[in-house]
Structure 1
Amino acid sequence: MALKRQAEPEPISGCPRHVAIIMDGNGRWATKRGRPRLFGHHAGARRVREVLEACPHIGVEYLTIFAFSTENWKRTQVEVAGLMTLFRRYITRETSALVASGVRVRFIGDRVRLEETLTRMMTNLENATAHNSRVNLTIAINYGGRDEVARATKRLAEDVAAGTLKPGDINEETLPRYLDTFVLPDPDLVIRTSGEARISNFLLWQSAYSEYEFVDTLWPDFTRAEFESLCTSYGERDRRYGGVKA
């Protein structure tokens, strides 16, 4: 999956610095082809490579992908087990290429429920890529926006109880320091594939001022060209953040 080192074109004017993607439609894509849902998830994992490869060429510095939500545990045991196996294989297969390509990988989400082997592999991949900066890839596993805010609030309350944080000092600048994404900029653009128009508990705090794109394409069919087109469209938007231009 090494990002190709060919001569890079000029970045897209006004390209979003941080793009987050809800990669929806893997199961439906497989079902349409008469294949098991896990076949679609494997196809979707390959699609991540193409989008990630495009990022440094067009000016996207941060890519965050929603790989497994806190709600996904409700799926069948077969599908959940298959996804966990897919995550392990992805890390095993891609670590060397990610390191060589200058990709820094981070994971967000609650790791407590994940099996120890997977969490150890996640930590090792984070450590192996810690000095990279060409592209920042964040993978959300066992992640939910409400769960993240609840966990952050608990840590904040513990600091108040310990006397290291005063209640009067808490404001909207304080809580983000306790979120899983505390080292990341907020997403400029959030893309959801498969025709669904909902945010599904993804980056609730961080996406308060994000632009959204809901596209009909099922994730395994989502191309680099479509990704670049959405980033170009973002650059043409007039973002006022609640203000009014004279």
Structure 2
Amino acid sequence: MPGDANPQMSPAGEAPAPRSGPRHVAIIMDGNGRWAQARGRPRLFGHHAGARRVREVVECCPSLGVEYLTIFAFSTENWKRTQTEVAGLMSLFRRYISKEMNALAEKNVRVRFIGDRVRLDAKLIDLMDKLERKTAGNSGTQLTIALNYGGRDEVARATKRLARDVAEGRLDPENVDEETLPRYLDTHVLPDPDLVIRTSGEARISNFLLWQSAYAEYEFIDTLWPDFTAEELARLCGSYGRRDRRFGAVKT
């Protein structure tokens, strides 16, 4: 059985207390390849530029009141890319974790990884585990990195765990409702995202946090990820604060 249940109140219950800005921001970091190609460089050049952008975004979260940041680093569908690009991305992930580990720990950032680790190489998994352990006691920005992650894959894996608990008598199927499945998701210790941002001008969610983002606000922006700035994040958070979030209810 997973650990703590999702701490965010379900939209079916009492609505969360109003906030001026989002507590949890999730970002689909898109456009690295196009950014590089526009400069006559290989796609991996753009991925390296995008990795550097992550630090600025993480560091600005506390000043914006963003407690949780989830970033989409590599999807279950990204294995379809060329072997060269996939190998380069895996090397980049190992390098990023090794390089940023101490800085993240010192800045009080807690890091978690979500996704299926089965296809990842042993060295990368070891680095992921080490970063999670090193930052486990941190109380600042809660950074979640989705690596080999897909929303449908996550729900399928969660359903298997739930079914196993039913089969072994730990869970009564009559008690399964919309509050049950989230306890089996990779994100079971996180609140649902308030704001989901996708860069690069594409207007689709690409299998990202399908269950969790049912009531999220979305922003699809033209900026390519390597050009995304703290100022733009601040603008989007400000725009979120002006939205009327009713969670299906009607204000009287």
Q: Per the shorter chain, which TM-score range?
A: over 0.9
Residue of structure 1 equivalent to 2:8: none
2:229 paired residue number: 223
Which ranges of structure 2 fall in alignment gaps of 5 or more residues?
1-18
Q: Which residue of 2 aligns with 1:100?
A: 106
TM-score by length of 1: 0.94
2:46 to 37, 40, 47: 40
Residue 17 of structure 1 aligns with an amino acid whose one-letter code is R
Q: Distance in 2 between matches of 1:48 and 1:16?
A: 18
CA distance in 2, matches of 1:176, 1:149: 9
Following superposition, the deviation at residue 15 of structure 1 comes to: 1.3
Specify the alignment match of 2:58 in structure 1: 52
Aligned sequence identity (%): 76
**What secondary structure sits across from 2:77 in the alignment?**
helix
Extract structure 1 runs of 4+ deviating beyond 4 A. none
Do residues 160 (structure 1) and 151 (structure 2) align?
Answer: no
What are the within-5 Å matches in structure 2 for residues 1-246 of structure 1? Answer: 14-246=20-252
| 1:69 aligned partner, one-letter code | S
- Cα RMSD of the aligned pairs, angstroms, is 0.6
**Number of residues paired by the alignment?**
234
Q: Which amino acid aligns with 2:169?
A: G
Distance in 1 (alpha carbons) for counterparts of 2:69 and 2:122: 26
User: What is the deviation of 1:82?
Assistant: 0.3
For residues 222 and 103 of structure 2, the distance between their equivalents in structure 1, rounded to whole angstroms, comes to 31
CA–CA distance in structure 2, aligned partners of residues 224 and 175 of structure 1: 34
Distance between the aligned counterparts of 1:144 and 1:164, measured in 2? Answer: 27
**Structure 1 residues without counterparts, runs of 5 or longer:** 1-12
Deviation of 1:133 after TM superposition, in Å, equals 1.2
Distance in 1, Cα, partners of 2:20 & 2:181 = 29
What are the superposed Cα offsets for residues 54-101 of structure 1, whole Å, 9 maximum, x if unpaired? 101110000000000000000000000000000000111011111100
- What SS class does the counterpart of residue 138 from structure 1 fall into? strand
Distance (whole Å) between structure 2 residues aligned to residue 48 and residue 118 of structure 1: 19
Residue number in structure 2 paired with 1:6: none
